[in-house]
C-alpha cells in the first residue's frame, strides 16, 4: 500500500511538520536574542516553502493514500492559509514577545495548526475530515489560551474548548449515521452509495439527522449562528494574532470542509443541506450585525462582524450550481473569492487592533479616538480595511460581495439577496463609527506611538492584498473558478 503513496503530493504538509520541529529545536538551542528573529524567520521560511510546494502542484487532480485529495480546491485553500499565517506571524512578533516566554512553542503551534488546515481542506474521507478539523481545534484551544496567566485568554480558551468539544461530538454522531447507512467513510463512495436503491428507501429518515448533526460541527468552525457563541469571546480573549488566525484561516477551513463534504458526499441531499444553509445564512448575517452594532470594544465588534461575514460566505454555498458553459458565478467560486478577500481584510483589521493594543494597552472604541494624529499609518490602514469590509469598490470586499451576490440572484433567491443587502448597509454603519472615532474625534493629550517593524510589513502586505484582490479581480476569479471546478469534478 505504501508504494502507491505519492509523497510529493504531501510535500506541503511535510515541510510544515519539519519546520515546526525545527522551530522547537531552534527555541531549545538558540540564545534568546537570536531566537527573537530566528523563530519567526524559520517559521515564515517554512510557510513560504510550503506555499511554493503547493503552488507547484496547482492543477493536480488525484487522491493521495485514499484519504487526501490533491486538487486545485485544496491547493487554493492551502495557498490562502500559508499567506495568511505568514501575515499572522509578522503581526505577532512584538505582540507575543511582550506577553509570553514560550515563543518557540507559539510559532510551532501556529505551524501545526496550519498543517491541520492543510489536512482538513484536502480531506476526502470522513476520518481525515474529523481528524483535520479536530487537530485544528485542539491546537487552536492551546493558542487561544496561550497567555495562561491572563484571565481573559484562559476564559476564551475554555469557552472555545467546551463549545468545540460538544460540537465535534455532535458532528461525529452525524458521521456515524452516514457511515452506518453507506458502510463507507470515503466521501465519493458515500455519494455513490446514497444513490443506491436500498439506501434511497431510508434516505428521508437519515438525511435530516445526518445533515443537521454534521452541519453542527462545520457551523461551529465557521462560527455560524446559532453555533457562534464561542466566537466573540474567543476572538476577544485570545491573543490578537491568534484572533487573526481564528477569524480567517480557521473559519475558511470550516467552509472548505463544509463545501467538500456536502458537495462530494451528499450532492443527492442538496435540497436538505441547501435549505438548512439558507436559513443559517440569513440568521448568521442578521444576528452578527445586530449585535456588532452595540459593541464598544473594536476587537469584539470585529468579532461579531466576522460572524456576519460568515453569513455572506454561506450565500455562495447556498447558490452552488454546476458552472454552465464556464459561467464564473457558480457560487462555490464566490465562496473562494470571499475567503481570500476576507483573509486579507479581516486579518488586516485585527492586525491594526493588535497594534493599537500594543500602543495603548486596550482596544476599546475610545482607544481609537484621534488615531489619525497619533498613528497616521494605522488609521489609514484601518480605513482601507473597514472600507473593504463594507464592500466599497475597488477593494477586495467589493469583489467578494459581487461574487456571492451574483449567483444568489441568478438562482433567484431574492429574499436572501435583499436580507444580505440590508445587512451590508447596517454593517457599513458600524464600520463608519470606528472611522469617525479615528478621524474626527480629537483627543489632544494622548501620546503618539510607533508601530513595530514586523507589523508594519504585515500591514503593507495586507493593504497590497486588499487592493490587489479588488483590482485584479479577474485573475482571482479565474483561480477560484478553476479550483471550484476542480472540486466539483469538472
Partner 1 sequence: MVPLSWYLAVAAVLFVLGLFGVLSRRNAVAILMGVELMLNAVNINLLAFWRYTQPENVAGLVFAVIVLTVAAAEAAVGLALFIALYRLRESVNVDEIQLLKG
Partner 2 sequence: MILKVVFLLVSLFTVGSALMVVTHKNLFSSALFLVASFFGVAALYVLLEAEFLAVAQVLIYVGAIATLIIFAIMLTRGMMSGRTSPRNDQAAWAGLASVVLGLVLLYVVVFRVQWPVVEKPVPPDTIEQLGRALVGRYVVPFEVASVLLLAALVGAVLIAREKEV
Query: Per CB under 8 A, does 467 bind partner 1?
Result: no
Of 288, 274, 277, 172, nearest in space to 225 by CA: 288
Binding residues among 433-462 for partner 2 as defined by CB under 8 A: none
Of 108, 86, 132, 144, nearest in space to 343 by CA: 86
Binding residues among 235-264 for partner 2 as defined by CB under 8 A: none
237 binds, among partner 2, partner 1, none (CB under 5 to 8 A by kind): partner 1
Of 68, 19, 62, 65, nearest in space to 42 by CA: 19
Q: Are 334 and 315 in contact (CB under 8 A)?
A: yes
Count of other CB atoms within 10 angstroms of residue 208: 14
x/- track of binding to partner 1 for residues 148-167 (CB under 8 A): xx-xx-xxxxxx-xx--xx-
The rounded distance, in Å, linking the Cα atoms of 112 and 53 is 17
Distance of CA 370 to the CA centre of its chain: 31
Comparison of 122 and 388: residue with beta carbon closer to partner 2: 122
* Closest approach of partner 2 to the CB of residue 65, in Å: 5
Comparison of 176 and 268: residue with beta carbon closer to partner 1: 176
Residues in binding contact with partner 2, number by CB under 8 A? 46
Listed ranges 95-103, 139-147, 369-377, 402-410: which one lies at the site for partner 1 (CB under 8 A): 139-147
Question: Which three-class secondary structure state does DSSP give residue 150?
Answer: coil
Residue with cell 457599513: 428
Residue among 18, 48, 49, 142 that touches partner 2 (CB under 8 A):
142
Comparison of 273 and 368: residue with beta carbon closer to partner 2: 273
Comparison of 105 and 236: residue with beta carbon closer to partner 1: 236
Q: In this structure, what C-alpha cell is assigned to residue 484?
A: 471550484
Query: Per CB under 8 A, does 105 bind partner 2?
Result: yes
Binding residues among 359-398 for partner 1 as defined by CB under 8 A: none
Q: Are 430 and 301 in contact (CB under 8 A)?
A: yes
Binding residues among 49-78 for partner 2 as defined by CB under 8 A: 64-68
Count of other CB atoms within 10 angstroms of residue 203: 16
Comparison of 290 and 490: residue with beta carbon closer to partner 1: 290
- Those residues whose C-beta lies under 8 Å from the C-beta of residue 356, and which sit 6 or more positions away, are 298, 363, 367, 368, 371, 375, 378
Residue among 135, 229, 268, 297 that touches partner 2 (CB under 8 A):
135
Query: Per CB under 8 A, does 170 bind partner 1?
Result: yes
x/- track of binding to partner 2 for residues 184-223 (CB under 8 A): --------------xx-xx--xx--x--------------
Residue with cell 457560487: 331
301 phi/psi in degrees, rounded to 5:
-60, -45
Q: Are 237 and 152 in contact (CB under 8 A)?
A: yes
Query: Per CB under 8 A, does 176 bind partner 1?
Result: yes
Question: Which three-class secondary structure state does DSSP give residue 214?
Answer: helix
Count of other CB atoms within 10 angstroms of residue 52: 15
* Closest approach of partner 1 to the CB of residue 300, in Å: 6
Q: Are 185 and 179 in contact (CB under 8 A)?
A: yes
439 binds, among partner 2, partner 1, none (CB under 5 to 8 A by kind): none
* Closest approach of partner 2 to the CB of residue 105, in Å: 6
169 binds, among partner 2, partner 1, none (CB under 5 to 8 A by kind): partner 1
Identify the bridge partners of residue 125 per DSSP, sorted by sequence position. Answer: 186
Query: Per CB under 8 A, does 134 bind partner 1?
Result: yes
Distance of CA 60 to the CA centre of its chain: 23
Query: Per CB under 8 A, does 172 bind partner 1?
Result: yes
Task: Using alpha carbons only, give the angle 131, 140, 427 rounded to the nearest 5 degrees.
Answer: 110
Question: Which three-class secondary structure state does DSSP give residue 80?
Answer: helix
Comparison of 237 and 331: residue with beta carbon closer to partner 1: 237
Altogether, the residues listed in the chain come to a count of: 490
Q: Does residue 394 have a cis peptide bond before it, meaning omega lies within 30 degrees of 0? A: yes
152 binds, among partner 1, partner 2, none (CB under 5 to 8 A by kind): partner 1
Binding residues among 84-103 for partner 2 as defined by CB under 8 A: 101-102
Q: Whole-angstrom distance between the N-terminal and C-terminal Cα of the chain?
A: 28
Binding residues among 212-241 for partner 1 as defined by CB under 8 A: 232-233, 236-237
| Alpha helices in 122-150, H assignment, sequence order | 126-144
Binding residues for partner 1, per CB under 8 A?
A: 126-127, 130-131, 134-135, 138, 141-142, 145, 148-149, 151-152, 154-159, 161-162, 165-166, 169-170, 172-173, 175-177, 179-180, 183-186, 232-233, 236-237, 291, 294-297, 300
Give contact residues for partner 2 (rule: CB under 8 A): 1-2, 5, 10, 17, 64-68, 101-102, 105, 108-109, 112, 115-116, 119, 125, 127-128, 131-132, 134-135, 138-139, 141-142, 145-146, 148-149, 157, 177, 180-181, 183, 198-199, 201-202, 205-206, 209
Amino acid at each position: 500500500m505504501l508504494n502507491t503513496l505519492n509523497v510529493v503530493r504531501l510535500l506541503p504538509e511535510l515541510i510544515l511538520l519539519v519546520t515546526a520541529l525545527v522551530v522547537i529545536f531552534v527555541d531549545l538551542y538558540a540564545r534568546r536574542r537570536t531566537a527573537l528573529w530566528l523563530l519567526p524567520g524559520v517559521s515564515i521560511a517554512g510557510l513560504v516553502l510550503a506555499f511554493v510546494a503547493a503552488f507547484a502542484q496547482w492543477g493536480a487532480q488525484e487522491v493521495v493514500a485514499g484519504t487526501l485529495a490533491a486538487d486545485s480546491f485544496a491547493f487554493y485553500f492551502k495557498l490562502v492559509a500559508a499567506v495568511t499565517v505568514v501575515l499572522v506571524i509578522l503581526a505577532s512578533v512584538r505582540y507575543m514577545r511582550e506577553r509570553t516566554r514560550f515563543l518557540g512553542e507559539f510559532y510551532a503551534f501556529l505551524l501545526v495548526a496550519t498543517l491541520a488546515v492543510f489536512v482538513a481542506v484536502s480531506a476526502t474521507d470522513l476520518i481525515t475530515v474529523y481528524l483535520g478539523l479536530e487537530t485544528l481545534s485542539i491546537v487552536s484551544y492551546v493558542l487561544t489560551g496561550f497567555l495562561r496567566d491572563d484571565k481573559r485568554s484562559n476564559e476564551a480558551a475554555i469557552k472555545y474548548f467546551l463549545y468545540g468539544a460538544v460540537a465535534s461530538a455532535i458532528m461525529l454522531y452525524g458521521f456515524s449515521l452516514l457511515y452506518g447507512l453507506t458502510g463507507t467513510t470515503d466521501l465519493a463512495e458515500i455519494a455513490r452509495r446514497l444513490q443506491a436503491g436500498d439506501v434511497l428507501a431510508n434516505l428521508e429518515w437519515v438525511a435530516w439527522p445526518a445533515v443537521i448533526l454534521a452541519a453542527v460541527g462545520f457551523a461551529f468552525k465557521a462560527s455560524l449562528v446559532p453555533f457562534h457563541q464561542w466566537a466573540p469571546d474567543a476572538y476577544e480573549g485570545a491573543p490578537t494574532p491568534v484572533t487573526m488566525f481564528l477569524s480567517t484561516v480557521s473559519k475558511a477551513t470550516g467552509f472548505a470542509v463544509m463545501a467538500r463534504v456536502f458537495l462530494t458526499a451528499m450532492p443527492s441531499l442538496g435540497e436538505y443541506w441547501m435549505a438548512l444553509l439558507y436559513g443559517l445564512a440569513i440568521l448568521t448575517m442578521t444576528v452578527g450585525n445586530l449585535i456588532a452594532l452595540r459593541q464598544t470594544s473594536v476587537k469584539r465588534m470585529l468579532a461579531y462582524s466576522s460572524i456576519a461575514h460568515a453569513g455572506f460566505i454561506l450565500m455562495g454555498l447556498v447558490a452552488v450550481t454546476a458552472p454552465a458553459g464556464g459561467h464564473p458565478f457558480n457560487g462555490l467560486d464566490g465562496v473562494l473569492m470571499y475567503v481570500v478577500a476576507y483573509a486579507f481584510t479581516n486579518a488586516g483589521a485585527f492586525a491594526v487592533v493588535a497594534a493599537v493594543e500594543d500602543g495603548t494597552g486596550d482596544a476599546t472604541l475610545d482607544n481609537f479616538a484621534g488615531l489619525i494624529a497619533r498613528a497616521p499609518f494605522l488609521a489609514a490602514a484601518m480605513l482601507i480595511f473597514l472600507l473593504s469590509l463594507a464592500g466599497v469598490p475597488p477593494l477586495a470586499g467589493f469583489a467578494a460581495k459581487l461574487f456571492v451576490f451574483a449567483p444568489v440572484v441568478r438562482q433567484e433567491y431574492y429574499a436572501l439577496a435583499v436580507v444580505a443587502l440590508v445587512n451590508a448597509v447596517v454593517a457599513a454603519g458600524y464600520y463608519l463609527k470606528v472611522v469617525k472615532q479615528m478621524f474626527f474625534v480629537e483627543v489632544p493629550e494622548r501620546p503618539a506611538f510607533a508601530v513595530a517593524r514586523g507589523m508594519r510589513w504585515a500591514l503593507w502586505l495586507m493593504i497590497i492584498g486588499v487592493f490587489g484582490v479588488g483590482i485584479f479581480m479577474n485573475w482571482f476569479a479565474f483561480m477560484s473558478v478553476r479550483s471550484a471546478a476542480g472540486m466539483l469534478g469538472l
